[in-house]
Amino acid sequence: MKTTISPLNSNTLPYSNLPSIGYRPLEWWEIQQLERQGCYASDWSAQLIAEGSDLSLLNHVEFEGSNRLGLLDSERFPGCGLRRVLISDTVIGHGARIRNVGGGIINCSIADEVVIENTERIQMEPEAACGVGTTVNVLDETGSRPVIIYPGLSAQVASMMARKPRKAESDIIPQTETYIESLPEAPSIGHKAVIKDCGTLFNVRVGNEVRIEGARRLVNGSIINNAAPGKCLAFIGNGVDAENFIIEDGIVDSGTLLRNCYVGQGASLEKGFTAHDSLFFANCSLENGEACALFAGPYTVSMHKGTLLIGCQTSFMNAGSSTNQSNHMYKLGPVHWGVLERGVKTSSNSYLMLGALIGAFSLLMGQHKTHPDSSEFPFSYLFGDAQGATVVVPGMMLRSCGLLRDEKKWPNRDRRLKRKLPLNDRITFEVLNPYTVARILTALETIDNLLQRPADDDRYIRYKGMKISRASLERAKKLYSLAIYKYLYQKIIDKEIPHLTVEEAESKGEIWVDLAGQLMPRHIMQQALDAESVEEREETLNKVFEDYDSLELEWIAAAIPAEYLRDPEKIKEGNAAFAAIVEEDRTGYRDSLSAEQLMLKL
């Protein structure tokens, strides 16, 4: 897509934090001095220098075309100067330190106090897009669910693009293209940026204070820093090879390979991780493995070499070693995709044949080949049997002491904090919330219906491609009911519940959606979808995020059955029973751990 986000030419002004300084052509004696210092120009009259510059700081510099150099003053900018570099049609700000650039700096606008050392060619083409407007074929690799990436892209808007492709094609993508066209110009290399020991940078925009150290090759991309001065999070490290990308307040290091990717705020990709056509949002951590057409919502974690995440959407996920999915059945191509709802964990060697929909906060173990839909049973154990069928043990994750630990650790591990960033992704951290509790209420109805069925010959009841035992359904009823009391204790004990009319209850009790980490009533998501601009869509999402607490109380008043709400003492008793179950799990785990430590004692 053609874009004019930042036209680049020799007249582009760099950012400057100094008072206005005049520029002038070189005098004849200054030209002689520069030539004695090994400098050369195809046309000395086309070179401009800032008033007051120390020309002794220019050594073995070759000038082609028209160039403009900012102030070179070693007292004000210690270490500044240019050495062994070709400069062609480029504007360089004040206090630059540029040395040993093998292929030269071509058609760039460079802001103040930039450091470039021991690097190959740095070149910008006129009107280069720098990764902005790149199409990422997420989920379905064949391109039926494209996401257009741009600075400020939120996980929520990306999710709407990918999950509502018709709406994206008719409205969201055209609005995004209009928004991209309106973005202001920026220098090719921003204020106090550092580029050291790198290979080629071609059509790459580098933000203020960004550090790039040892990158192997960067093509058509942007590295964006939105943090306050001195708090930059964006970083590109050793051996990185990236093409068609945006890295926004993210970290990409140690041999990572990217093609057609967006790396969002606080995300970290390193240790040889490879990805194509994938999106990584707030605080993802991925190492060693591989991603293809992955929508990695906030806090997606994968740390192992044998792990492949492909054609799926995740959030708050932890992938065990050798986790794998299949999106290609050798018929129509890699068209299959799935959703692992928030909080899903996978065990070592787990396998999932897509399409599939895995319920929130579930644990996936073994091989699953029957395209399960466990969304009605959140907090479940999912076992793959010898034939690849899915055996569900509903609600068992509610017993886990690790669940509450996760809820507390996520906010504490937010890399965006203390950076004074304008946060792109809105994140609802609560494990029990209108989305998961609504699923629990649905599960209780489904369990009552299933318990009226006779079991098959193998003693399992079958439902939506899954196998469930009668005993596990009976156990789940108790766990799910206690979870509702736990939720109400957290949210309404000693609080005033809104009084709703019948009409209000019908509207306020609607189903909520999880939009890549942000929870909201479905009708508000529809408002965001129907927005007439990128700015209006983000404002709608911000507003519902700010109103979350009040909307949640209204939902509780409208959607939770009266038998759970009418007796505060029963809520307290249910909360205490839930806490006792979790504490029993914690005690059992500690006892087991102590036994292991004793066994291993010298």
524-533 pLDDT per residue, tens: 999 999 999 9
In this structure, are residues 343 and 317 in contact, taking their beta carbons and an 8 Å threshold? yes
Question: What is the model's pTM?
Answer: 0.93
What is the reported pLDDT for 16? 55
Helices (H) and strands (E) in the chain, counts: 13, 43
Instruction: Please give the domain boundaries of the chain with CATH numbers for all domains.
Output: 1-128 (no CATH), 133-180+209-355+402-428 (2.160.10), 356-399+432-489 (no CATH)
Say how far residue 418 (Cα) sits from the centre of its chain.
18
Give the confidence band of 386 by pLDDT, cuts at 50, 70, 90.
confident
Amino acid identity, position 306? G
Question: Phi, psi (5° rounding) for residue 566?
Answer: -75, -20
Average pLDDT over residues 401-412: 87
Q: How far apart are CA 62 and CA 41, in angstroms?
A: 6
Best CA proximity match to 345, nearest among 295, 311, 379: 379
Higher pLDDT, 400 or 35: 35
Q: How far is CA 446 from CA 216, 361, 375, 467, 477, in A?
A: 55, 18, 12, 14, 10
- 86's enclosing H/E stretch is strand 81-88
How far, in Å, CA of 577 to CA of 485, rounded?
9
Alpha helices per DSSP H over 183-317: none
- Secondary structure of residue 344 in the 3-state scheme: coil
Mean model confidence pLDDT for the chain: 92
What's the pLDDT score for residue 336? Answer: 86
Q: Is 546 helix (H, G, I), strand (E, B) or coil?
A: helix
User: How far are the Cα atoms of 239, 295, 458 from residue 343, in angstroms, in the given order?
Assistant: 32, 14, 31
Q: Mean per-residue pLDDT for 533-560?
A: 96
Work out the pLDDT band at 24, boundaries 50, 70, 90. Answer: very high
The stretch 45-52 carries a mean pLDDT of: 95
Q: Which two tokens stand for residue 206?
A: 């580098």
Q: Evaluate the omega torsion of the peptide bond into residue 355 and state whether it is cis, within 30 degrees of 0.
A: yes
Coil, strand or helix: which one is 46? helix
Which pairs from 287-292 meet CB under 8 Å and 24+ separation? 289/319, 292/141, 292/327
Check whether 8 has a pLDDT greater than 60.
no
Q: What is the DSSP letter of 234?
A: -
Q: How confident is the model at residue 506 (pLDDT cuts 50, 70, 90)?
A: confident
Of 577 and 458, which is predicted with more confidence? Answer: 577
Q: State how far the Cα of 203 lies from the Cα of 211, in Å rounded to an integer.
A: 17
Contact 66, 49 (CB under 8 A): no
Tens digit of each residue's pLDDT (9 = 90 or more) over 468-480? 999 999 999 999 9
Q: Which pLDDT score, from 0 to 100, does residue 481 have? A: 96
Of 169-173, 309-313, 317-321, 592-596, which range is least confident? 592-596
Tokens of 163: 């999950």
Helices 568-599 and 470-491 meet at what angle, rounded to 10? 110
